[in-house]
Amino acid sequence: MRRILNIVRRDIKSGTRDWLVIYLAGAPILLALILKMLIPSVGDSTLNVAVYEDTPPAVVTYLETYAKVIKVDDLEERVLRMDDVFGVVIDDERIEIVTQGNEMEGTVDLLKTIIGRYDQRTIDLPVEVEFTDIGWVMSPMKIEGANLMIIFNTILGGMLILLNLVEEKMSNTISAINVTPTKRKEFIVGKGLLGFVLTLYGCAAVVIILGFEGINYAMLLVSVFAISFIGAIIGFSIGVTSDEPIAAIASMKIVFVPVLASIFGAIYLPTKWIFILYWSPFYWAYDVIKDILLVQATWGQVFMNSGIILVITALVFVGLRRRIQNGLS
Amino acid sequence: MIKVNGLYHSYSNDENYAVKNVEFEISKGEVFGFLGPSGAGKSTTQGVLTGLLPLQKGEVEVVGYNIRHPKREMFNKIGVSFEQSNVYGKLTALENLEFYRKLFDVETMNSMDLLKWVGLDHVANKKAGEFSKGMKHRLTFIRSMLNNPELWFLDEPTTGLDPAIASQIKDIVKEKNKQGATVFLTTHNMYVADELCHRVAFIIDGEIKLIDSPRNLKLQHGEKFVVVEHLENDVIKKEQLSLIIDRDKARLNEIISTGKIEIMHTKEATLEEIFIKVTGRGLK
φ, ψ for residue A25, nearest 5 deg: -75, -30
Secondary element (H or E) of residue B232: strand B225-232
Q: Which domains does chain B have, with CATH numbers?
A: 2-219 (3.40.50.300), 223-267 (no CATH)
Residue A43 confidence (pLDDT): 42
pLDDT on residue B192: 85
Please give the residue that has the higher pLDDT: either B141 or A107: B141
Nearest to A3 among B90, B103, B140 (CB): B103
Determine the pLDDT at residue B191.
84
Amino acid at B117: W
pLDDT in tens, B182-241: 999 998 888 888 888 999 898 888 888 888 888 888 777 767 788 889 888 888 888 888
| Interface touch A183/B103, C-beta < 8 Å | no
Measured CA to CA, the distance from residue A93 to residue A58 in angstroms comes to: 12
Q: Are B185 and B32 in contact (CB under 8 A)?
A: yes
| 3-class state of residue B208 by DSSP | strand
Interchain proximity A2–B102, CB inside 8 Å: yes
CB A213 within 8 A of CB A31: no
Mean pLDDT by 10 residues, chain A (329 residues): 87 81 81 78 64 85 84 85 80 77 72 77 48 52 84 84 84 88 88 86 87 86 88 82 78 82 84 86 89 86 92 87 78
Among A153, A163, A155, which residue's Cα sits nearest to residue A16?
A: A163
Q: Please give, rounded to a whole number of angstroms, the shortest distance from the CA of B122 to a CA of chain A.
A: 21
**Residues on chain B touching A173 (C-beta within 8 angstroms):** 86-88
B72 with A329: Cβ contact below 8 A: no
CB-nearest to B75 from A13, A17, A181 is A181
Contacts of A14 in chain B (CB under 8 A): 88, 90-91
Confirm whether the ipTM is greater than 0.85: no
Whether residue B84 lies within 8 A of chain A, CB to CB, comes out as yes
pTM of the model: 0.72
Distance CA B202, CA A151 (A): 58
Please give the Cα distance from A21 to B176 (Å, whole number): 41
Give the end-to-end CA distance of chain A in Å, rounded to a whole number. Answer: 21
Ranges assigned E (strand) in B14-73: 19-26, 31-35, 57-62, 65-66
Q: Which residues contact B92 (CB under 8 A, 6 or more apart)?
A: B124, B125, B126, B127, B128
- Per CB-CB distance under 8 Å, the chain B contacts of A167 are 88, 90
Give the A:B interface size as CB pairs under 8 Å: 67
Nearest CA to CA, how far is B80 from chain A (Å)?
7
In chain A, the domains with their CATH numbers are 2-39+139-328 (no CATH), 43-119 (3.40.190)
**Cβ–Cβ < 8 Å for A151, A289:** yes
Question: What is chain B's alpha carbon radius of gyration, rounded to the nearest angstrom?
Answer: 22
Q: Which amino acid is at B235?
A: V
Range 143-162 of B in CB contact (< 8 A) with A: 143
Distance, CA of B116 to chain centre: 23
B65 inside 8 A of chain A by CB? no
Pick from A77-86, A305-314, B96-105, B147-156: least confident: A77-86
Q: What confidence score (pLDDT) does residue B283 get?
A: 59
B90·A181 Cβ contact <8 A: no
Chain A residues whose beta carbon lies within 8 Å of the beta carbon of residue B95: 13
What was the pLDDT predicted at A133? 43
3-state secondary structure A159-185: HHHHHHHHHHHHHCHHHHHHCCCCCHH
Binary contact (B90, A175; C-beta < 8 A): no
Query: Which residues from A are below 8 Å from B when comparing CB atoms?
Result: 2-3, 6, 10, 13-14, 17-18, 167, 171-173, 175-183, 329
Within 13 Å of residue B110, how many CA atoms lie on the same side as its CB? 5
pLDDT computed for residue A105 by the predictor: 64
The answer to whether A59 and A95 are in contact (CB under 8 A) is yes
Contact with chain A for residue B82, Cβ under 8 A: yes
